[in-house]
Amino acid sequence: MIGKIYNIQSFSTSDGPGIRTVVFFQGCNLRCLWCHNPESWAMHPPVSFIKESCIGCGACANVCNPRVTDSTACTGCGRCAEICFAGALARPCRELGVDALFTLIATDKPYFDNGGGGVTFSGGECMLQPDFLSAMVEKCKANGIHTAIDTAGHVPYEWLARANPDLFLYDIKAASPDTHKALTGVDGLLIWENLARLVEAPFPVHVRIPCIPGANWEEIPAIIKRLKKLGVTKIEPLPYHRLGEGKAAWFNQEARVYEVPSESEMQKIMNEVPL
């Protein structure tokens, strides 16, 4: 069984409890306007191109002329990336088996053990690779590694339930269907419904809300109110940041940039959420 992974970030302190290794899965079924990780969207992504790293050696043209003349023609085969030693062309994701990925995760088990952490499967949308994800969760749990799944929840409920992690980090972006659709491309009905079922089941769920002035900022009070009504006990508002701002250019996309909320603005929101 193979999973498509585009990044592994260890020693994260903001993606679940303790020190965590975050595994970013390829593929996403939402198109959030503020997305920091556009490289994660496509399940079969094109090769990315970092212009600043290109030394103009021309080696890529020998294996793929269209790559040079028309980037939109990229099939994602990755032959050009294999011979681009400057690292300008890169295959955004890698295919890894359960054991290979587990080996990379387990490297940090001593840190998890001391720091009360574990692994967080994120994305993209990690739930779009449900079989691989379930196998990974099972393997990690069997080896004493705490597991969390960071998901937007726009998948069949059965997939979520079957994954059965120690913790869901569940992202909620909007309260109303219209706003949700405008911001993410989907209306959010399934997302809210799945959240209600997870809470009721009950699965341990922490809800995270990206807080983005100019996007969902006005809806945040309504989101919090609705979450409280559902019985969600742990709500984590996350301030928008611009760390992934430059990535859109790798894929010939236009970056959409929002205002970063101030600390005082975030504090007002924090005052509304359960401790």
Partner 1 sequence: MKPVVLSQDITGRIAALRETKKNENNKKVAQFGGAYNTDDHGFICFDDFKFTPAYPEGYEIMFGPRCIGENLKRFFAEMPVYIHPQSALAGAWAGFFNRDFVNIGLRPEDEPKHLYATHEKYGLNPGIGGMNHLGPDMEIGFRLGYPGLLEKIRHYRKKNAPAGADFYAGEEATVEGILAYIENHFHYAQKMAAEATDPWERENYTNIAQSLKNLLEGPPKTFRDVCQFLAVFQSADRTYFGGGGLQQLDELIRLYYEADVAAGILTDEEAVWMLASLFYNDTHYSQLGGQSPDGTRELTTPISFIILQAAHELAIPHNLAVRVFEGSDDKLLRRALEYIVEKGTGPCFSLSKGIEEGYMKQGHPIELARMRANVGCNWVALPGIEYPLQDVTRLNMGFVFHHALEDTMAGGDPDLDKLWANFSKHLLEAVKCIAEGYDWHYEVVSRNTPELVLNLFCHGPIERGVNCANGGVDILNLNVDGTALATVADSFAAIEQRVVIEKKLTWEEMHKTVRNNFKDAEPIRLMLKNIPRFGHPESLALPWALRIRDEFVRQVNETPTPKYNIRVVPGLFSHGEIYGYGKNLPATPNGRFDGDPISHSNEPDPGFASGVVSFSPSLKATAVAQAQPGMGNSAPLHLDVDTNMIKGAGGVDALIALVHTHNQMGGTRINLNCVTAEQILAAHENPDAYPDLVIRVTGYSAFFSSLSKDYRQQVVDRYLR
**Which residues lie near partner 1 (CB under 8 A)?**
5-14, 17-19, 55, 57, 59, 85-87, 93-94, 103-104, 107-108, 110-111, 113-117, 243
Cβ nearer to partner 1, comparing 108 with 171: 108
Closest separation between CB of residue 204 and partner 1, Å? 17
**Which is closer to partner 1, CB of 128 or CB of 195?**
128
Q: C-beta of 37: minimal distance to partner 1 in Å?
A: 12
Distance CA 93, CA 131 (A): 18
Contact by Cβ (8 Å): 41, 264 = no
CB of 103 to partner 1, least distance (A): 8
In 48-188, alpha helices (H): 59-63, 65-69, 79-82, 98-106, 109-115, 130-142, 157-163, 177-184
Structure tokens, 55? 């030394």
Question: Which CB, 88 or 155, lies closer to partner 1?
Answer: 88
The tokens for 149 are 């799944």
Of 121 and 192, CB closest to partner 1: 121
Nearer to partner 1, 18 or 214 (CB): 18
Give the C-alpha separation, 19 to 228, whole Å: 28
What does the alpha-carbon distance between residue 159 and residue 121 come to, in Å, rounded to a whole number? 14
CB 126, min distance to partner 1, A: 14
Least Cβ distance, residue 129 to partner 1 (angstroms): 15
The encoded tokens of residue 190 equal 């399934």
Q: Looking at this protein, which amino acid is placed at residue 105?
A: I
- Cα separation, 106 vs 159, in Å, equals 25
